[in-house]
Structure 1
Amino acid sequence: MNTFTNDWEFWLDENISPIIAKWLMEEINIKCISFHFLKLNKTSDIEVYNLARSKEKVIVISKDSDFPELVAWKGTPPKVIFLKFGNCSNKKFYEKLKSKIYDAMEELIYGDLDIFEINKD
């Protein structure tokens, strides 16, 4: 496994608990920020996309299909981790994310992938 560069940021969509950002940052040692703390929770998806695009090394983690659609339509940056599982406890949510986060980072940061999907299984 590569040692991941820490000049990337993960932005967690408003429908994801800010506690997940804290846990994830402790796990992967990369800056993880909730939309809530970025004060983006009342901002349109296109505005968030444009802001992330201007910062360049941003990966948006979202359950919202708008972000993968924006990336498919307008390109990267940002890159996206698209979560395709329903509501669950923060603990269960984190376990699902943690089980795939290193694969996602490998593909998005060092590979050619723009959108990494994490399914419900």
Structure 2
Amino acid sequence: MKPEWEIWLDANISPAIAKWMDAYVELPVKSSYKLNFNQLGDQEIFQIAKDYGHIILISKDADFSDLTSRLGAPPKLIKIGIGNCDNQKLWDFIRKRLLNSIDLLTNTDTAIIELN
């Protein structure tokens, strides 16, 4: 049986957004703080996610795009291209595109979706 997908949010995205997202989607959503990843480097987080398998990382950090392009999926990635803003504005930006992005990542070979 295939493991369920999980969404992991990078440290550059507030745990408050993880909470809102968890209530919005039908997948487990975990912030880097909940995962105790806030002190780890991007490559370490990427490798843990790769070993785990069915992970969608959400980050504003270009390093994850580079790692995914170079090392391949999993994990899959939603790259957020909006600049600094408050949590509500960021959540509104992500929410508009989130369900379609998750569907595409979990049901196709697409490895990276950029939300600009």
The normalised TM-score by structure 1 is 0.91
Match of 1:34 in 2: 31
Does 2:67 match 1:70?
yes
Alpha-carbon contact 1:6-1:30 (below 8 Å) kept:
no
* SS of residue paired to 1:36: coil
Q: Which runs of 4+ in 1 moved over 4 A?
A: none
Q: Tell me, which stretches of 5 or more residues in structure 1 are unaligned? A: none
Alpha-carbon offset, residue 83 of structure 1: 0.3
Q: What SS does the aligned partner of 1:104 have?
A: helix
Q: 1: distance between equivalents of 2:60 and 2:76?
A: 14
Aligned pair 1:57/2:54, yes or no?
A: yes
C-alpha distance in 2 between matches for 1:60 and 1:107: 14
Residue matched to 1:23: 20
> Among the aligned pairs, what percent are the same residue?
37
Partner of 1:99: 96
CA contact (8 A) 2:3 2:54 kept: no
- Whole-angstrom CA distance in 1 between matches of 2:102 and 2:56: 9
Unpaired stretches in structure 2, ≥5 consecutive residues: none
Between the two proteins, the alignment pairs up a number of residues equal to 115
Q: How does the TM-score come out when normalised to structure 2? A: 0.95
> Cα RMSD (Å) of the superposition?
1.3
The alpha carbon displacement at 1:29 in A equals: 2.1
Q: Does the Cα contact within 8 Å between 1:65 and 1:82 map onto a contact in 2?
A: yes
Q: Distance in 2 between matches of 1:77 and 1:113?
A: 10
The 3 A distance-change label for structure 1 pair 90 and 109 is: same
Partner of 1:113: 110
For the Cα contact (< 8 Å) 1:9–1:30, is it kept in 2? Answer: yes
The residue that corresponds to 1:46 in the other structure is: 43
